[in-house]
Structure 1
């Protein structure tokens, strides 16, 4: 199998999301998969109705891959979407599709799609200037969550405890008028500092972890110091995560679920979820799971592979803390 992984940052240690790319490289090498890591900005996008396959990268033509894995998430630019659409129209399988990547890059669009499908979400208002504090207080109450539409890894999210704090923030936003769009969202008290990340691959919930903050913050992101532990969700939670991925058209999704007092609410979904914390908590290889699922979907033969250090590690832990389970979409 020949794969491209599209990554928009410099590939070096310490760069956000680079660790996941290194894991894909490690898994591909062990599986006998050819994996090329490419920056979408380095493609020359040439659209010509007289040509068949067209891929020019840093001045040279590339052979057609079997699969493209975008790892640009909520930071996916218009240029990257154009590149993805170009190759999608040329028949290349993708995990995930450009339409799905675009839909979940915008938090409000994600929530609009989910609410239209009857999936529970926190009540949300799109911010506008000047901010009408009365509307926020009437519709959402306080505390209230404030988010940028394209934040990632927990950045661009804060909690306003009361009207006074919100007034200060509103005045700051009104004065800045920076062009950054915000949403205001209902605060789910029962899930303060706690949520569940469910990994869905090809219509199956394959692993989950509970994330908790360690400093009293309402945010539980691992990237912000939260801790993750293996979690076996009830069937209705697993089925909800699968349904979210299906509604959003995601082959691979990290679905973040808030624990409400009378059920669940979907916080967000990610098209290229970080998985360092999930692998550590659940003792699975996420790239292996993705490659295996996509190989099956594409009907490609399984390569003979040697046992990797990760497989050895997981095998040693398998009897201690099993965490891998599957819930198929009905």
Structure 2
């Protein structure tokens, strides 16, 4: 079989070394596994619809990668690449399902996945202004104080706030009235602690417990501590169910500790960073992702080869 060539697509406006180090590491692992890859900024790929067809313009318009590792959240570009016939990991739909937290909870609710009580904020057009507060009165009645306010799009816990009273609530409503967000029950039993289970394919490959003594959020990026953790079978099953429902090939799934330490879903991250979990567990999650992708590609190529043999047997002139 000829060698497989791929792209690692990342956001071209990201300059942080913690991200670039990951992309370079992924490229190095691919090379060790016999996969040739290029690091490509998303804004170097110019998606054009011309004469009703999706095409690319720019320096890579003539290239045809066998696969694309898509480490960005520009789902419009990811979908464009899929329409062109490229195999994308994770898929555009999977990234969309996870990136929009409101959408994540709605999709999971179709399968009765346990999670905190959640209320989506109403849409406010930029030309309008909130002047009827009856909706927010109901939020207070349903959730009580404190409760969690999350922007629908955000990473590393940076767009998550703990609301203690009505003044704080209305201040955030004013500040975020044009920003998609939601309101969520505060799980007191999980204050300052959660667990992350990293899924690759149909396996939980690494897990850590995160904790903070100074913040209700446990994210390592906010100063939380991380330690290797052995999840229960029930916790693994919950994480795997979420991964399957949302259609991810790999993801970091964050669970909270409810009453009696029962696990409930906090968030699902399709492009979860891996530095903390690899450091505290000693498990090279990046390598496992590349192993999964290579196996998937070889399996699909074998299927296509078998189909071509069948077609030739039926019509040998083709």
**How far did residue 28 of structure 1 move?**
2.3
Report which structure shows greater RCO (CA 8 Å, sep ≥6): 1
**TM-score normalised by length of structure 1:** 0.80
Q: Aligned-pair distance for 1:143?
A: 1.3
Q: Do 1:9 and 1:15's aligned partners in 2 also have CA atoms closer than 8 Å?
A: no
Partner Cα distance (1:11, 1:135) in 2: 40
Displacement of 1:22: 2.7
* Aligned with residue 242 of structure 1, among 237, 240, 243: 240
The aligned residue for residue 222 of structure 1 is: 220
The separation in 1 between residues aligned to 2:52 and 2:142, in whole angstroms, is 55
Displacement of 1:50 after TM fit?
8.6
Equivalent residue of 1:24, what SS?
Answer: helix
Instruction: Give 1:212's aligned residue.
Output: 211
RMSD, aligned CA:
2.2
3-state SS of 2:231 partner: coil
Q: Describe how 1:227-306 pairs up with structure 2 within 5 A.
A: 227-262=225-260, 263-299=262-298
Which residue of 22, 26, 29 maps to 1:27? 29
Q: How many equivalent pairs are there?
A: 287
Aligned to 1:155, what secondary structure does the other structure show? coil
- Per the normalisation by structure 2, the TM-score is 0.83
Could you tell me how far 1:135 is from its partner in structure 2? 1.2
Q: 1:177 to 1:224 in 2, by over 3 A?
A: closer
User: SS state of the match for residue 68, structure 1?
Assistant: strand
Partner deviation per Cα, 1:174-209 (whole Å, 9 max, x = no partner)? 444652122110001111111110111112111111
Q: Secondary structure at the match of 1:17?
A: helix
2:83 corresponds to:
89
Look at both structures and tell me which one has the larger radius of gyration over its CA atoms.
2
**Pairing 1:81-230 to 2, within 5 Å after superposition:** 81-128=75-122, 129=130, 130-131=132-133, 132-161=135-164, 163=165, 167-176=166-175, 179-213=178-212, 215-230=213-228
Q: Secondary structure at the match of 2:113?
A: coil
- For structure 2, the 5+ residue unaligned runs are 123-129, 301-318
- Separation (CA, whole Å) in 1 of partners of 2:113 and 2:52: 45
